[in-house]
A = this chain, B = another copy of it.
Amino acid sequence: MNFEKLVDRLGSIDYSNLYHEDFFHTWDKTQEEIEAVFLVADSLRYLREQNISTKIFDSGLGISLFRDNSTRTRFSFSSACNMLGLEIQDLDEGKSQIAHGETVKETSNMISFMADVIGIRDDMYIGKGYTYMKDVSSYVKEGYDDGVLEQRPTIVNLQCDIDHPTQTMADMLHIIHEFGGAENLKGKKIAMTWAYSPSYGKPLSVPQGIIGLMTRFGMDVVLAHPEGYEVMLEVEEIAKKNAEKYGGKFTKTNSMEEAFKDADIVYPKSWAPFAAMEKRTELYGDGKFDEIDVLEQELLEQNASHKDWACTEELMKTTKDGKALYLHCLPADITGLSCEDGEVDESVFDRYRVPLYKEASFKPYIIAAMIFLQKMKNAEEALKELKEEAKPRLKK
């Protein structure tokens, strides 16, 4: 779609509830709201490619609140803020600390006097990350209502224990571009499958986010994992309902082969079992660090018994025409390169390197689009004006 079509389409749908609201989970949003994010992301990318300034802020802060290390999400958030005119201010809290109510309330307000948006990544403990984000949101809303804050900073979920909307929407926009439009996804099979990794305890937010989002596009979504690697039941429920509502399918299997068979898209990726993560959070809360070590050891052993769950060349051949689109949120554990046995064969990974990087390249635009729609009541007008003003990003 060209810029005019993107903006016209945006003008014809209802995204009004994104305005002044947070972005937590994709399933909180309507179909048109999800589409609006894609339309704005593509529009912003177009403007930037044309060397047209996309700044809507003259000044203001974007707060990055990361409760886990991250290079790529940090840079994506920075990039998104920068292109809109916000300066980044980092708040790095130790990842070992699960903050409590009063402290969070105070800190949330103290960092927000000039904050327009707060990007939060908190994926370490089941039942904690999303709760934390909602707390921050309610505290700054309170601060705004009480006249403490001049503006209400909105929240962008940069990964919680449940969903990872900026990742999965970047994945989806990549798919849309690869397949030439969302209208072409009906009936396409996507295999979200577990894969073996020598590292322990990867978050569940990606598989959960994927089944929660992709089932909205009429796709045939298959979730595959060994027994014991179940994801959160409530997200499976969401996936089921979406499939029904939007005319797609959601199925589960314990066979990677079955999932890959004739798949149009594959997303093989390691994650930790939900039940184990829940137990870990509990042990952590009780300060039982010895038992956490034991649990980690058990999980590594459990993982090791599933080394055959790998995205090999053989398996890739069984996909649609042997050419399924391979997805990953990166970094991947690559067999023979980053580890002895990993999620994917080096030759497979290599063949998809450019598409994988493109997949990642949508994330800054997705984040920027979320912020844009949180701040601009009339987004299509704002985009049109940017194009008309045509202020060069880099002086010509």
Contact = CB atoms under 8 A, between A and B. Distances in A.
Nearest to A332: B106
Contacts of A49: 150
A361 B111 CA distance: 10
A61 B89 contact: no
Contact of A148 (B59, B358, B376, B394): B358
Interface stretch (A75-83, A125-133, A213-221, A298-306): A75-83
A151 to B, nearest CB: 8
Given A110-B72, A361-B148, A61 B82 contact: yes
A34 interface: no
Contact of A393 (B57, B71, B337, B392): B57
A57 B394 contact: yes
Contacts of A149: 361
A150 B42 CA distance: 13
Interface in A94-132: 102-103, 105-107, 109-111, 113-114, 116
A364 interface: yes
Given A60-B393, A60-B394, A337 B102 contact: yes
A89 B79 CA distance: 9
A103 B144 CA distance: 43
Contacts of A114: 78-79, 82-83, 364
Contacts of A395: 55-57, 376, 382, 385
Nearest to A139: B357
Contact of A106 (B91, B116, B330): B330
- Interface extent on A, as a size class? 35 or more
A45 B391 contact: no
Given A54-B59, A59-B54, A375-B394, A91 B71 contact: yes
* Interface SS of chain A: mixed
A165 interface: no
A109 B357 contact: yes
Q: Which of A76, A114, A148 has the most CB of B within 10 A?
A: A114
Contacts of A102: 334, 337-338
Interface string A22-64: 0000000000000000000000010011000111111111000
A88 interface: yes
A76 B393 contact: no
Contacts of A82: 59-61, 87, 114
Given A76-B113, A143-B357, A148-B358, A59 B85 contact: yes
A328 to B, nearest CB: 11
A164 to B, nearest CB: 16
B150 A354 contact: no
30 contacts: A45-B150, A49-B150, A56-B394, A57-B393, A58-B391, A58-B394, A59-B82, A61-B79, A71-B91, A72-B110, A75-B110, A78-B114, A79-B113, A87-B87, A87-B88, A102-B334, A102-B337, A105-B353, A106-B330, A106-B331, A110-B360, A113-B363, A143-B357, A146-B358, A147-B354, A148-B357, A148-B358, A149-B361, A382-B395, A385-B395
Given A59-B393, A83-B114, A102-B334, 15 more contacts: A55-B58, A56-B394, A56-B395, A57-B394, A57-B395, A58-B393, A59-B85, A78-B89, A79-B113, A82-B114, A87-B87, A109-B357, A147-B354, A148-B357, A148-B361
